Amino acid sequence: MPTALIETRLGKFRAQFTERGLARLQFPNAAAGPIADSIEPPKNWLRQTTAALKTMLAGHAPKTLPPLDLSTGTAFQQQTWRALLRIPAGRTRGYGELARAVRRPKAARAIGGACGANPIPVLSPCHRVIGASGSLTGFSGGMHWKIKLLEIERVKLPLH
């Protein structure tokens, strides 16, 4: 299972790539699961991933992202993950808002499930999705990471 470790000021993130692009990004100390068709990444993809991750962790929106392979998700999950990419740095959206953005206004709970299954957190910013009342809800990387990422982006906490 080819894996790239990306050293950041917050620890080593694990990146895995397929022929399509970055397929998984894991937080430091997360258990690594295999990706069946993972490859050694082309140097430019690894450079783009490293630059984008470090830019995000510095509180800024990256100018470019590496190619992203979102193919592990259902059509709905992929649609949700692409919608996450449109949430500006330093801003948040509620699950219901995101459901309306993907034209599935009654799918707020399903949006939460899609965010939890997001294989590329930080770069596909599911940490920017919050509860309707402004509450910080679950996060696949752990609530401490959600809070840390929102603080880095200068989102004023608590939100409610």
Does the active-site annotation cover 126? yes
- In this structure, the strands spanning 129-130 and 93-94 are parallel
- 135: which 2 tokens? 């509450």
Beta partners for 26?
14
- 97: which 2 tokens? 């808002």
Please report where in the chains the tokens 């995000």 appear, as a residue. 56
SS3 113: helix
- H or E segment to which residue 11 belongs: strand 11-18
Distance CA 10, CA 148 (A): 10
- 82: which 2 tokens? 């692409």
Q: List the catalytic residue out of 126, 136, 152, 155.
A: 126
Active site residues: 126
